[in-house]
A and B are shown apart, each in its own frame.
Chain A
Amino acid sequence: MNAGDVIPEGRLWRIADPQRIGPGAPSFALRRFSVCLGEIPKRAQLRSRKMSQKSERRAIHVDQSELLCKKGCGYYGNPAWHGFCSKCWREEYQKARQKQIQEDRELAERLQREEEAAYASSQGAQGGQSSLTFSKFEEKKSNEKTRKVTTVKKFFTGSSKNLPKKDIKEAKAPSPSINRQISVETDRASKEFIEFLKTYQKAGHDVYKQCKIFLEAMHLKKEYNIEEQSEFTQDFYQNTADKLQMNWKLSPDKVETAMDQIEKFLMTRLYKNVFCPEFTDDEKKDLAIQKRIRALHWVTLQMLCVPVNEVIPEVSDLVVKAITDIIEMDSKRIPRDKLTCITQCSKNIFNAIKITKDEPASADDFLPTLIYIVLKANPPRLQSNIQYITRFCNPSRLMTGEDGYYFTNLCCAIAFIEKLDAHSLNLSEEEFSRYMSGQASPKKQDSDSWQEDACPGVKQMHRNMDLLSQLSERQERIANGARQLEKDLIDWTDEVSRGVQDIVQKYPLHIQNPSQALAAIDSENIEDDRLPPPLQPQVYAG
């Protein structure tokens, strides 16, 4: 460790620490520094301190004036604070800022005074003091608003450089050319459209011209009421279809394909302006229905009487497909494509019902299932999509065809969800409000058929686990039974032997010897002792 290392490090420490440091700081700092290096042996530490003191002395000799605060308050300064110490720097900085603010305010006030004077002179006598201030306030507000808008716009367009340019172009030429708002998709759509119209020859040319005129007119109507725009579009569809049929004598099939293409071409262009426009409350409705569906998350298949058995893997696959289809609707631009999504969803539902019930689905089966799917999917911007299709889809398709039928059913499903109450789910008011407030969940009651919203594999696993636990329970029971039986058997033998013993004790078997008995009889005669001894043969010396 040499002196050259220590000093910069010491300075670094000082820079890093924003605390005010007194003149004695360097040595303190160094001490702290060496403390940090606690592992260094004491002697080495001492040496290093000596060395650094030496070098410090040299550094101070050179930099003394530079190290201290420029203001001469006696504290050390810092290059990051322009040579001031932290306190002096803060003061300096504040002062400069105050000055700037003051200047700005003065400028603003001067401008305002000028403006007021100009306004007063232009208004003449008619504007009273109060109205003047109010208008000023209004003006300020609107100014603020526009400023906000532009910054927001800048924020969004900032990523691509050519967009602002287009804005300028748009502003310059109020009559819009058909090539405005070029995006890849619209570009492709118009190319396809032109290709398609070539097959219609003269009629195609006429249609193209009409479409162009229509688009320009629609652009001028941009600020209009959406219903007017819708009506205008519907009129255009009707007139074009009539014209194709009457003037160009095309077959109905051909008219239909042409109308589809026209719709596609027009709506890819108009989509941005007429889908969920700001001046309608479509978005509010979207949010409302979304919230409503979320609140109804607890509704089960059983409550709606849905004739679909999700335990069958094929059926649950179809249900998932149907949900995906209905969600996908939002990503399409053309009303007809959106309708196709609804139709596809409905077809999947029909298949699911057919597999479950093995008979063609009637409306009695279909509508509840569709409601269930909508509740499960909670499709994004549902109301906006419905409104958009109603307003801008070709009416002939919407009113009569199969697509129209499914669309109508979807509208019904939404209407049902909006008005749904306890009665329509066969629940009591109390139950319904409890579910709605989240105090209770019906899932727990019939968990067998519901097991979260898991995939069939997980559901199967849950079921298997249930079965396994049941099995082990039964095994346990069998083992217990066996043990019991064993115990019973042992007890039984014990009991039998005990019983036998008891009986044996109660009725002891004495097999008495008859001679013994006689002896006993004899022995009982106590008097015998007193009897004279039997005659003894006497030996006489004879």
Chain B
Amino acid sequence: MAAAGGAAAGVSKTYSFKVVLLGEGCVGKTSLVLRYCENKFNDKHITTLQASFLTKKLNIGGKRVNLAIWDTAGQERFHALGPIYYRDSNGAILVYDITDEDSFQKVKNWVKELRKMLGNEICLCIVGNKVDLEKERHVSIQEAEAYAESVGAKHYHTSAKQNKGIEELFLDLCKRMIETAQVDERAKGNGPSQSGAARRGVQIVDDDPQAQSAGGCCSG
């Protein structure tokens, strides 16, 4: 959060946001982000070497935004490492597969953990991917949307294959992050040194509580 505040204090009003992609393996995180940044799906001509760290420059209502999208390893065995990834992030995109009930359960776990660790500072998006496989849907729309609302997150339906809903998802997320950043800025005042101190406050605290929580979420 403070990263955005610090950057925003500059003359040019460029926001830098960090967004983490969370979700089980095989729900299509990588496809989603590749579709967004390269507009390609399962394509042999993808120019990028990797799809784990991608950046995108946006201009939203005259405000410049640098978006850094961090992919995370979705395998169960790496779950405990989550806190290292999502610290200092401004937004989180939690992806599940609409044909896979378990992946939605996993999203719920992530939400719980994120709210516990980062509070309301982080903008959450819950994304049901693979809507092109509507016939095999196992997660009901009502349930998912109701859940998203209950935890203060927004719910989206996307299809990386058909390029549905992805642009909207990221645009919406950016707008929300800008809002949060502005609120934050006003609350903190404009003193740059103050924001600097706050930033480090976040940075130093991170190690121990995270370790504890990692253990906690593992056992839970």
| Chain B residues whose CB sits within 8 angstroms of the CB of A419 once the complex forms | 80
User: Nearest-CB distance from B202 to chain A (Å)?
Assistant: 10
User: Nearest-CB distance from A415 to chain B (Å)?
Assistant: 6
In the complex where A362-B29, A363-B72, A364-B30 touch, is A350 in contact with B10 (Cβ < 8 A)?
no
In the complex where A400-B18, A415-B84 touch, is A361 in contact with B52 (Cβ < 8 A)?
yes
Question: Does A234 lie within 8 Å of B70, measured CB to CB?
Answer: no
Question: Does A400 lie within 8 Å of B16, measured CB to CB?
Answer: yes
A401 to B75, CA, bound (A): 24
A478 to B11, CA, bound (A): 84
| Chain A residues whose CB sits within 8 angstroms of the CB of B30 once the complex forms | 360, 362-364
Question: Does B71 lie within 8 Å of A362, measured CB to CB?
Answer: yes
A-B contact count (CB 8 A): 125
Question: Does A354 lie within 8 Å of B81, measured CB to CB?
Answer: no
Interface of B is mostly: mixed
Partner of A411 from B55, B72, B84 at Cβ < 8 Å: B84
A231 to B74, CA, bound (A): 34
Question: Does A399 lie within 8 Å of B3, measured CB to CB?
Answer: yes
A402 to B88, CA, bound (A): 15
Question: Does B46 lie within 8 Å of A415, measured CB to CB?
Answer: no
Residue of B nearest to A398 (CB): B203
User: Nearest-CB distance from B127 to chain A (Å)?
Assistant: 16
A347 to B50, CA, bound (A): 9
Interface-lining segment among A52-60, A241-249, A268-276, A466-474: A241-249
In the complex where A239-B196, A366-B73, A400-B68 touch, is A412 in contact with B9 (Cβ < 8 A)?
no
Question: Does B199 lie within 8 Å of A238, measured CB to CB?
Answer: yes
A424 to B199, CA, bound (A): 34
Interface of A is mostly: helix
In the complex, whether B152 has a CB less than 8 A from a CB of chain A is no
Question: Does A238 lie within 8 Å of B73, measured CB to CB?
Answer: no
Partner of A238 from B6, B16, B49, B66 at Cβ < 8 Å: B6
User: Nearest-CB distance from B210 to chain A (Å)?
Assistant: 9
Question: Does B193 lie within 8 Å of A416, measured CB to CB?
Answer: no
In the complex, whether A204 has a CB less than 8 A from a CB of chain B is no
Question: Does A368 lie within 8 Å of B73, measured CB to CB?
Answer: yes
Question: Does A366 lie within 8 Å of B196, measured CB to CB?
Answer: no
Instruction: Encode contact with A along B20-58: 1 for CB under 8 Å, 0 otherwise.
Output: 010001000110001000000000101011111101000
Question: Does B85 lie within 8 Å of A412, measured CB to CB?
Answer: yes
In the complex, whether B133 has a CB less than 8 A from a CB of chain A is no
Residue of A nearest to B4 (CB): A400
Nearest 4 pairs of A and B residues by beta carbon: A238-B196, A362-B30, A363-B71, A242-B192
Contacts A/B (CB < 8 Å), 22 sampled: A235-B197, A235-B200, A238-B6, A239-B196, A242-B192, A242-B196, A249-B11, A252-B12, A252-B14, A350-B49, A361-B49, A362-B50, A362-B71, A363-B73, A364-B25, A364-B71, A364-B73, A364-B75, A367-B81, A368-B75, A395-B199, A405-B52
Interface of A toward B, CB cutoff 8 Å: 227, 231, 234-235, 238-239, 242, 245-246, 249, 251-252, 305, 347, 350-351, 353-354, 358-364, 366-368, 395-396, 399-402, 405-406, 408, 411-412, 415-416, 419, 423-424
Q: A227-B204, A242-B9, A412-B81 are in contact. List 16 more A-B contacts (CB 8 A).
A: A249-B11, A354-B49, A358-B44, A360-B48, A361-B49, A362-B52, A362-B71, A364-B74, A368-B75, A395-B199, A395-B203, A399-B88, A400-B66, A400-B68, A408-B85, A424-B77
